[in-house]
Amino acid sequence: MPIEIVRKKLCNQPATIPRIFDPGVSSLRMGYILSNGLKWVNGTEIKFMFLEGAEPQKNVVRRAFQVWKALGIGISFKEVATVDDAMVRIGFDHRDGSWSYVGRDILTVPRTERTMNFGWDLTANSYGMTTAIHEIGHTIGFQHEHQSPYAGIEWNTPAVYAEFSGPPNNWPKDQIDANILSKLPANQVKGSAWDPKSIMEYEFGPGLVLQPSAYRNGIFPPGILSANDIKGVKSFYPVVTSKNIVKLKLNKSAVIKASSGGQDDYIFTAPATKKYTFQTVGQMDTVMVISEKAETENYYLSGDDDSGLDKNSKITLPLVKGRDYLVNLRVMFTPGERSGSVIVS
């Protein structure tokens, strides 16, 4: 007897504008900036709010944030009450699909708009939790696995169009292209292997995949975080411990040790109440974030992204004597090891 396939509604990602670089930026440098640029600076507290929704629906999403956090990662999540405080704005519009912008692209979304939506009842069955974990995966910077160029999937294109133009998804051709058939550029994908068990993988019924032939009968991810998902998120967002944090001294440069995609973390205790300037020196693409370290949480003060530009990250701001300030430096691209430094003056 043929297995009956229960067709699911799938995540339907919003279109984004491709990033344009100056002609002087090499393709190698561009690739690193694209692959690392969507990830948050490690240590970021991602503040989210619900724009609408019933409590049981919100609770599924809150639990899904906890699932990611419980892995032991260096980013955290906090629910806030106002749009002005929120980076992630969550809606439950069932006329729309389920989707989320990817990583730091979220910061480009106008503050009046959602950055994440849930298009179906999250409490109906376990697929609700799967959906919420998947969309948060996008929010923290992960893309669809089946669109990885390393998946090597050869689609039965007419069958894919026929399947997804019908219920329950009813997608027009351009959405099928964007969500399934188009491959991500190799330089935008971290890692070099396809993980068909990933939470970022879709479920596909039989007859849609031609190659690899093992998946002709379909792809059925278990709907939970896979071993590779956990490894990937922990490698990009490791838990920050105080022993990894370098002390910055006034007017003394500290060598940046992180390679492309890595991060260095510093702490600076202000010796006086006055304005200080933090800057990187050397040819690197970096995102620098400065926050004030307080007892229970860190308060974001300022950030600067110099990626793809012929300038360095530089932040000037007033600090208070005796207080501790964290400087998180995500290196998008460096032409060589230890080729830059950071200095506070």
Binding site for Zn ion (CB under 5 A): 11
* SS3 call for 213: helix
Residue 182 CB, shortest distance to Zn ion, in Å, is: 13
Among 246, 247, 242, which Cα is nearest to 258's?
A: 246
The nearer residue to Zn ion, 11 or 136, going by C-beta atoms, is 11
Residue 205 CB, shortest distance to Zn ion, in Å, is: 18
Residue 97 CB, shortest distance to Zn ion, in Å, is: 9
C-beta of residue 197 within 8 angstroms of C-beta of residue 215: no
CA dihedral (186, 191, 194, 198) positive or negative: negative
Residues in the chain: 345
Rounded CA-CA distance 84/191 in Å is 35
Q: Where are the alpha helices (DSSP H) in the chain?
A: 27-37, 55-69, 127-139, 157-165, 173-176, 227-236
Among 304, 302, 266, 301, which Cα is nearest to 286's?
A: 304
The nearer residue to Zn ion, 116 or 290, going by C-beta atoms, is 116
The nearer residue to Zn ion, 201 or 306, going by C-beta atoms, is 201
CB atoms within 10 A of CB 129: 18
C-beta of residue 63 within 8 angstroms of C-beta of residue 123: no
Residue 234 CB, shortest distance to Zn ion, in Å, is: 21
Which structure tokens are listed for 60?
């599924």
The nearer residue to Zn ion, 146 or 330, going by C-beta atoms, is 146
Residue 11 CB, shortest distance to Zn ion, in Å, is: 3
The nearer residue to Zn ion, 64 or 245, going by C-beta atoms, is 64
The nearer residue to Zn ion, 113 or 297, going by C-beta atoms, is 113
The nearer residue to Zn ion, 160 or 284, going by C-beta atoms, is 160
Residue nearest to Zn ion (CB): 11
The nearer residue to Zn ion, 11 or 344, going by C-beta atoms, is 11
The nearer residue to Zn ion, 203 or 324, going by C-beta atoms, is 203
Q: CA angle, corner 280, sides to 274 and 286, nearest 5?
A: 120
Residue 134 CB, shortest distance to Zn ion, in Å, is: 5
Residue 239 CB, shortest distance to Zn ion, in Å, is: 26
* SS3 call for 135: helix
Looking up tokens 């399934």 gives: 180
Close Cβ partners of 176 (under 8 Å, ≥ 6 residues apart): 160, 161, 164, 165
Among 114, 53, 111, 113, which Cα is nearest to 84's?
A: 111
Residue 138 CB, shortest distance to Zn ion, in Å, is: 5
Helix axes 127-139, 55-69, angle to 10 degrees: 60
